[in-house]
Chains A and B, each alone.
Chain A
Amino acid sequence: MKMDLVMIDVLLFALLAGIGVALITGPLGTFIVWRRMAYFGDTLAHSSLLGIALGLIFSLNTTLSVIFTCLVFALILVGLEQNKNLASDTLLGILSHTSLAFGLVVITLMPNVKVDLMSLLFGDLLTVNFKDVITVYIISTITLLMLVKIWDPLLAITIDEDLGRTEGVKFKLVRMMFMLLIALVIAVAMKVVGVLLITSLLIIPAATARSYSKTPEQMAFFASLIGSFSVVLGLLASWFIDTPAGPSIVLSAGLLFLISLTNKKNQ
């Protein structure tokens, strides 16, 4: 315990960053759950590894290159979805794993760059610094504000796309904004739980919140709370029993979900 002070710093930054991410993955995750886009989110998350590789190759800011890559993938997916010749889960499966594999290969092949693959895949929350925390909160705030702005129209087309459009929802714009939000969130969530586990942070708190909610807004709010609580629990585990932070957070979220299953009131 000779580095107690430093460790407190590390824990504080990790906690702040984790909660900052959980605050936005909760509400956004509710839409991923309602729109049955878990696999879609997974595909985008995997493509972010390719984004990192591209960022390294062209020496760009990795956050920006991840956002950009995710957006491009989101557009490709939406475009392919219109073309219903291929079952869309097959399509997502192909893209998801191809982009993950491609990202891994590119990163490994790059000379002069030594990247810790484990931290990319499973997150590296305990290495976040003050600057990272600021980045997380800036992006989270922007994302949250944008989500509030498109909340009603997005909910309307989630419930029934034709009905929403008939009532005047500009659905292409709203869907595009939604994709952008997912890309933004993936870019910040990557640091917390890593490429492979991002979707869990979107889906598990939202699914857990379902049993305690009567309205969409309640569910979004509870998802934020539950996500933040998972971050706290996971970091505590990481602190006291020295488990990896990202997976511990996901595991905590999973446990909270199991507990929520006992609440049948709002099912």
Chain B
Amino acid sequence: MSSPLITLNKVSKYHNTKETLSSVSLTINPGQIITLIGPNGAGKTTLVKIILNLIDIDEGVVFRSPDLRIGYMPQKLHIDQTLPITLERFLRLTEKNTKICSEVLEEVGIINQMKCPLSSLSGGEMQRALLARAILHKPNFLVLDEPVQGVDVAGQEALYKLIEELHRKLNCAVLMVSHDLHVVMSSTNEVLCLNNHVCCHGRPDQVSKNPAFIELFGESTNTYTTYTHHHDHKHELHGEVKLSKLDENGFSHD
């Protein structure tokens, strides 16, 4: 593999003498998917902003590869109601070439909404619009801040599928901020669990067994382990999916 896209070395950030990030080190390699999880106030947003080069750091070093092209998908857009804007115009803010805009909209599956006002899009369509904007310039690193927020469960799955597809097509690294532990575990190469410091870090299965992770996520972790176990089991049983539902009650022994 070629050299890392971005490397953070012992980065700290203070906010009114309180340490928001404490000595965080992180390397993002081309093509890798990293999921960033952590409770509220853990500094996830701060870390994302440092990676995007939006805020200065107080200590440490950040190395960026010269050919780093970041595509960023913000958590949510707060467009003032008084601002009329169509989906097409929204993309044309950064890409004058209409052909590229429509290609990208085709890719994320909302080409039919091209002329619609942004305010008329559904939650899922809005997230796709943001994704479209993020991939307009063919990034080699996608930063997605809670990409499925405000989307119903079926829509979430479709959206994650789309992200994986884009990841393959663009061959880009992905950093995803997430609350959803299930997805963290299923599509990620690496999990970074943040609680002002890097509380644990590694492959999903390693992290889920890490005591620090379990302490931080407690209940959720249990749900998660049950889920995976259940999932594996179902997989082995093949056609006996219905049985597995029955099994579930007496499942704890396994």
**Which residues of A come within 8 Å of B, CB atoms?**
33-36, 152, 155-156, 158-160, 162-167, 206-207, 210, 213-216, 218-219, 266
Contacts and interface: CB of A to CB of B under 8 A. Distances in A.
Interface stretch (B21-29, B88-96, B232-240): B88-96
A89 to B, nearest CB: 16
A163 B72 contact: yes
Interface of B, secondary structure class, is loop
Nearest to B137: A167
Nearest to A212: B84
22 contacts: A34-B80, A152-B93, A156-B93, A156-B94, A158-B83, A159-B90, A160-B74, A160-B77, A162-B49, A162-B52, A162-B54, A162-B74, A163-B72, A165-B52, A167-B72, A206-B82, A210-B82, A214-B84, A215-B85, A215-B89, A216-B84, A266-B84
Contact of A163 (B74, B80, B85, B117): B74
B79 interface: yes
B77 A216 contact: no
Nearest to B71: A166
B239 to A, nearest CB: 47
A166 B70 contact: yes
A169 to B, nearest CB: 9
Top 9 A-B residue pairs of the complex, sorted by shortest distance between their CB atoms: A166-B72, A34-B83, A156-B93, A213-B84, A167-B94, A33-B82, A34-B80, A166-B52, A210-B82
Nearest to B92: A152
Contacts of B78: 160
Interface of A, secondary structure class, is helix
B128 interface: no
Contacts of A213: 84
Contacts of B86: 214-215
A158 B72 CA distance: 16
Interface string B83-117: 11110011001100000000000000000000001
Contact of B72 (A34, A162, A214): A162
Nearest to B77: A160
A204 to B, nearest CB: 12
A155 B93 contact: yes
B85 A207 contact: no
Contacts of A206: 82
A159 B84 contact: no
B13 interface: no
Q: Which of A35, A155, A167 has the most B CB atoms < 10 Å from its CB?
A: A167
Interface in B211-235: none
B54 A218 contact: no
A4 B205 CA distance: 90
Interface string B28-60: 000000000000000000000100111000000
B85 A216 contact: yes
A159 B83 contact: yes
Given A162-B49, A162-B72, A216-B89, 13 more contacts: A36-B80, A158-B83, A159-B90, A160-B74, A160-B77, A163-B72, A164-B93, A167-B94, A210-B82, A213-B84, A215-B86, A216-B83, A216-B84
A257 to B, nearest CB: 12
Given A155-B93, A156-B93, A166-B52, A219 B84 contact: yes
A214 B82 CA distance: 11
Contacts of B201: none
Nearest to B73: A163
B232 to A, nearest CB: 39
Q: Which of B72, B78, B84, B89 has the most A CB atoms < 10 Å from its CB?
A: B84
Q: Which of A35, A158, A164, A215 has the most B CB atoms < 10 Å from its CB?
A: A215
A167 B96 CA distance: 14
Nearest to B136: A167
B173 to A, nearest CB: 15
Contacts of B143: 166
Interface in B116-159: 117, 133, 137, 143
Nearest to B79: A159
A210 B85 CA distance: 11
B75 to A, nearest CB: 10
A33 B84 CA distance: 12
A145 B97 CA distance: 23
B88 to A, nearest CB: 9
